[in-house]
Amino acid sequence: MRFTIPLLLLALTAAPAVADPPIQLADDLLDLQQPDGLGLETIEGTQTLLYKATEKTHKFCHHANLVVFQQRLFMIWSNGLVDEDSPGQRILMSWSSDGDTWKSPLWLTGEKNEICVAAGFHVYDETLVAYFTVTGGTNFHPDTALYAIHSRDGVHWSDRQRITSGFYIEGPRPLANGRLLLAGEYVDPSRTERRMRILTSDDPSGLGSWKEVPITPPDLMVFGYTEPGLFLTNKGKQATLLFRNYSGTLYASTSRDNGDTWSVPEKTNYPDSTARIAAGNLPSGGAYIINNASALQFDRRQLVIGLSRDGLLFDRAFLVRSEPTSMRFEGKHKLDGWQYPHALTWKRYFYVAYTINKEDVGITRIPLRRLR
């Protein structure tokens, strides 16, 4: 009997430590029993509508992406005739010199019978690069690939060049020391064994030298589109990728070697309705996540911004948009709600772009002081 306590202590000491999840939502921050509003306040902000579908215009909009270039705020988005990702879908662009008044949307690229999907921007050496996915008829067709055009003034553009295979809705994101990360989806036939496609490049132009980085999901059946979202912590020493999936909460993976290797994606407690995630860092270094935080799949009634000081615990949250919306034009894969956010900081404001019912395009400008 005298050995019972020491052996018990030895067993407890030898037990493996339970690792914390890559991110965690503070307990009771969101009230999922209140599907309308989640018990949150709406953050102060001004709203601008950049595109409104009418009987005489294209009736599908999605995949909004923002960038700052030459003291102007640019946005591109996918613009289709009626249905999502169908022939004739093109890329539109608008810009603003003050973040308040926007130019009328202009055609950027997309041929008559193509299916083009807006995939973000990159800025280097006074050059603006715009990315777009061209599908092979379906999003995961083997011919689906990412293309780019570039401009020195945001008005005159180069011919397109092919970047890499895959389906993408966001452009390269910076890691530490200037390295770029490009995150999207594998297409057929690779999707029988893989989902998220992660690449890195040390070419600052964002136009070449992309290298595949392995990342292994724990269960392929949990993931369809993964639409990765990235933020950095610990002064850039750790990168975190968030993934859309069918489980009801986000999955997350981390890298501590500047994107060379990534942990196996883990399930978190951060609710997500299966939609695109906007993630990134504020000027203070803290992290943000903007998503449709709901326990119901494809429930896009409200956009929620979650905030974290350390990129680990998200302990503040606000509604960005939550007013009731309703489609005016029926279309394939369309649904009501505030959808597919993208965000950035410019001057004294934080901008959140989104589509409304997959037919209109809007942006909310939030004073940065409200996020501190």
346-362 confidence digits (pLDDT tens): 999 999 999 999 999 99
Instruction: Give the N- to C-terminal CA distance of the chain in Å, as an integer.
Output: 58
| pLDDT over 60 at 82, yes or no | yes
Interacting residues of 116 by C-beta distance below 8 A, sequence separation 6+:
78, 89, 90, 91, 109, 110, 132, 133, 134
| The amino acid at 70 | Q
Tokens encoding 17? 């430590």
Nearest to 289 by CA among 258, 336, 251: 251
* Residue 15: predicted pLDDT: 45
295-335 confidence digits (pLDDT tens): 899 999 999 999 999 999 999 999 999 999 999 999 999 99
* Residue 322: predicted pLDDT: 97
174-195 confidence digits (pLDDT tens): 998 899 999 999 999 999 999 9
**Percent share of the chain, pLDDT over 90:** 92
53-74 confidence digits (pLDDT tens): 999 999 999 999 999 999 999 9
Tokens encoding 28? 């009771």
| pLDDT over 90 at 201, yes or no | yes
Tokens encoding 56? 């005489």
| pLDDT over 90 at 267, yes or no | yes
CATH of the structural domain 20-371, one choice from 2.40.110.10, 3.90.1170.50, 3.40.50.300, 2.120.10.10: 2.120.10.10
* Residue 372: predicted pLDDT: 86
Domain range annotation of the chain: 20-371
Rounded Cα–Cα distance for residues 179 and 28 (Å): 37
- Helix or strand run (H / E) with residue 297: none
118-157 confidence digits (pLDDT tens): 999 999 999 999 999 999 999 999 999 999 999 999 999 9
Q: What long-range pairs does 183-191 form, CB within 8 A, spacing at least 24?
A: 183/228, 183/230, 183/241, 184/119, 184/133, 184/146, 184/228, 185/139, 185/140, 185/225, 185/226, 185/227, 186/140, 187/136, 187/139, 187/140, 187/141, 187/142, 187/144, 188/140, 188/141, 188/142, 189/142, 191/140
Rounded Cα–Cα distance for residues 144 and 166 (Å): 6
Interacting residues of 57 by C-beta distance below 8 A, sequence separation 6+:
none
What value does the mean pLDDT take over residues 233-253? Answer: 96
**Percent share of the chain, pLDDT over 70:** 95
| pLDDT over 90 at 368, yes or no | yes
Q: Which residue shows structure tokens 């010199």? A: 97
pLDDT, greater one: 112 or 180 = 180
